[in-house]
Amino acid sequence: MKSYRFSMEKVLEWRADLEDSAHLLVKEKEEALQNEQARLEGLIKESRKLKSENLFKSSIDDLKRHSLYTELLDDKIVRQKLAIQTAETELDRAREQLKEAHKDKKVMEKLEEKEKKRYIEFVNKKEQEQLDEISTLSFGRPTVY
């Protein structure tokens, strides 16, 4: 008998490739989110530093520039928080795609298991039929001692 080969092997391989690419996408999105969070932490740190600076000995122009820069940093912080929300949404989408790809691959693996089980049962049945036929043929022969 020929060895077993899953009839939908190519589909299973394709779905495994989809799962791998979805997994890579999730990692990429996680790294992007971490980068965005690090950028936000840097902006917040800079803003705190700027707000804690001693400005009592500064001129009016320095105070205006300081105020404008503080407003600019606050605006950047708001935009960075929005960028983080976007990155989180993309990460959630990528995780959902990974979940679906994993589920699709599992379906194919279950099909492969069922098909292999049927194949093994078929092979065992054929072997048993051959053994039954051999025993039937040898039963009618006289035994030689």
- DSSP sequence for 67-81: HHHHHHHHHHHHHHH
Summarised one tens digit per residue, pLDDT across range 1-34 is 578 888 899 999 999 999 999 999 999 999 999 9
pTM of the model: 0.74
| Architecture per CATH, 9-112 | Orthogonal Bundle (1.10)
Write the Ramachandran bin of 72: left for phi over 0, alpha for psi from -120 to 50, otherwise beta: alpha
Tens-place pLDDT, residues 89-127: 999 999 999 999 999 999 999 999 999 999 999 999 999
Domain ranges in the chain are: 9-112
At residue 26, the pLDDT reads 97
Q: What pLDDT sits at residue 137?
A: 79
Which pLDDT score, from 0 to 100, does residue 144 have?
Answer: 60
